[in-house]
Amino acid sequence: MTSRDEVVFGRPARAAEDAPRAAANCALSSAGLSKRFRSGQLAVDSVDLAVPTGSVYGFLGPNGSGKTTTIRMLLGLIQPTAGSYEVLGLPMPDGLPYALPRVGSLVEGPGFHPYLSGRANLARQDAADRTANPATASARIDAALGRVGLLAAADKRYGAYSLGMKQRLAIATSLLRRRELVILDEPTNGLDPQGTREVRGLIRQIAADGTTVFLSSHLLAEVEQICTHVGVMRTGRLVFQGTLEELRGPGAGRVVVRTPRPELAAEILGGELQLADVRVSGLEVSAELGSILPETVCERLVKAGVPVAGLETPRRSLEEEFVQLTGEGFDVD
């Protein structure tokens, strides 16, 4: 697991120094992973990923921040120009043939032959896997189709599928076998709210089976609901990596007290409780909580005779964090 001191806001997480240690229980890890395209554009700039085994890792970033390029490198589709990476503990690219059969993936939207049925498309994917057992193929294909709710449409031409069905078929390919890691690149892209809910439910199921999920997305709500860990990309750099809690704010944040006697409250907070950064604005007093519990604050205030009309510990919204990390122009939708 990522320890708290690795979290550095506004700078790349310091996974590089910890890479050898981290790799031992990481489903995915990289050190200095970079890709410079022939055009000279540095699409991915020394990314140090550490995706803990068993986590649901949200890989966030605006469009064009290098998420898909990173995923393509992890899957051996494109060659990094610098850096190293491991998938399921195997150094790449040498371990590719051994690691990838244990990894399910969906990269940049569904891609299938339009004139083949959904079932035939899955059969083709399975036939390409030299480690899959042909004797169980049809049972596994039906099971995967069943899990994404496509059994009824299994023999329809893929070209006649709706966008939601296409997306679900793409997820089904990653369910053809038991996987240790599933990499999903924007799996809810272009889905209606219902489809999004279905896919989110599927991801929860996959994670509940003990599979590590690496989920690339630019939907904050999605990540907030299902992810345990988060990595944030900005213009090719990993600007944050840690748990969702760590992203939401260091420590417990601030406490805000609403009271008709703000001066007295400020005195207690700053004096008796020794909270830092005490601010008064109108009838509200706020201060940094530090290690003190909000209930303690309330108790002391009341004992000191401060009439407490309200007390809350507001969290900065995830959106605020992202805008701070990735700058303006982040497409939040």
Partner 1 sequence: MWTSAASPTGPDSGELAERQSRGAKHVPPWFRLFRSELRLVFCRPRNLALLGVLAFIPVALGVLFKLSLSGPGGGGGPAFLNQVAGNGVFLGLAVLVLMLSLFLPLAVCVVAGDAIAGEASHGTLRGLLAVPAGRTRLLAVKLASIVLFALASCLLVVGVAVLMGVVLFPVGRVTLLSGTTVPLSVGLLRVLFVALYAAAAMVALGSIGLAASTLTVHPVGAIAAALVIVLASEIADAVPQLSAAHPFLPTHFWLSFDGLFRAPVDWSGVQHGLLSFAAYLLIFGAVAWARFTSADVAS
Contacts with partner 1, residue ranges (CB under 8 A): 72, 75-79, 88-91, 95-98, 100-101, 103, 105, 107-116, 120, 123-125, 127-136, 173, 177-178
In this structure, are residues 87 and 95 in contact, taking their beta carbons and an 8 Å threshold?
A: yes
To the nearest whole angstrom, how small is the minimum distance from the Cβ of residue 97 to partner 1? 6
User: Which residue, 133 or 296, has its beta carbon nearer to partner 1?
Assistant: 133
User: Which residue, 173 or 212, has its beta carbon nearer to partner 1?
Assistant: 173
User: Which residue, 77 or 302, has its beta carbon nearer to partner 1?
Assistant: 77
To the nearest whole angstrom, how small is the minimum distance from the Cβ of residue 156 to partner 1? 15
The Cβ-side half-sphere exposure at 112, using a 13 Å CA radius, reads 30
To the nearest whole angstrom, how small is the minimum distance from the Cβ of residue 201 to partner 1? 22
To the nearest whole angstrom, how small is the minimum distance from the Cβ of residue 15 to partner 1? 19
Q: Which residue has the tokens 């491991």?
A: 86
User: Which residue, 101 or 270, has its beta carbon nearer to partner 1?
Assistant: 101
To the nearest whole angstrom, how small is the minimum distance from the Cβ of residue 205 to partner 1? 16
Q: Closest Cα to residue 122, out of 142, 104, 136?
A: 142
User: Which residue, 109 or 253, has its beta carbon nearer to partner 1?
Assistant: 109
DSSP states of 167-223: HHHHHHHTTSS--SEEEEESTTTT--HHHHHHHHHHHHHHHHTT-EEEEEES-HHHH
Distances, alpha carbon 198 to alpha carbons 112, 162, 201, 220, 230, in Å: 21, 14, 5, 17, 22
Chain CA centroid to CA 86, Å: 18
| End-to-end Cα, the chain, rounded Å | 30
User: Which residue, 92 or 318, has its beta carbon nearer to partner 1?
Assistant: 92
User: Which residue, 36 or 279, has its beta carbon nearer to partner 1?
Assistant: 36
Burial of 158 (0-12, 13-18, 19+ CB in 10 A): buried
Burial of 235 (0-12, 13-18, 19+ CB in 10 A): middle
Q: Which tokens belong to 317?
A: 């919204």
To the nearest whole angstrom, how small is the minimum distance from the Cβ of residue 96 to partner 1? 6
Distant-in-sequence, close-in-space partners of 80: CB < 8 Å, separation ≥ 6: 33, 34, 35, 44, 73
Q: Closest Cα to residue 169, out of 190, 194, 199?
A: 199
To the nearest whole angstrom, how small is the minimum distance from the Cβ of residue 128 to partner 1? 4
User: Which residue, 165 or 311, has its beta carbon nearer to partner 1?
Assistant: 165
Distances, alpha carbon 55 to alpha carbons 86, 130, 203, 229, 310, in Å: 16, 28, 12, 7, 37
Q: Which tokens belong to 306?
A: 């401060």
User: Which residue, 164 or 242, has its beta carbon nearer to partner 1?
Assistant: 164
To the nearest whole angstrom, how small is the minimum distance from the Cβ of residue 107 to partner 1? 5
In this structure, are residues 131 and 97 in contact, taking their beta carbons and an 8 Å threshold?
A: no
To the nearest whole angstrom, how small is the minimum distance from the Cβ of residue 324 to partner 1? 31
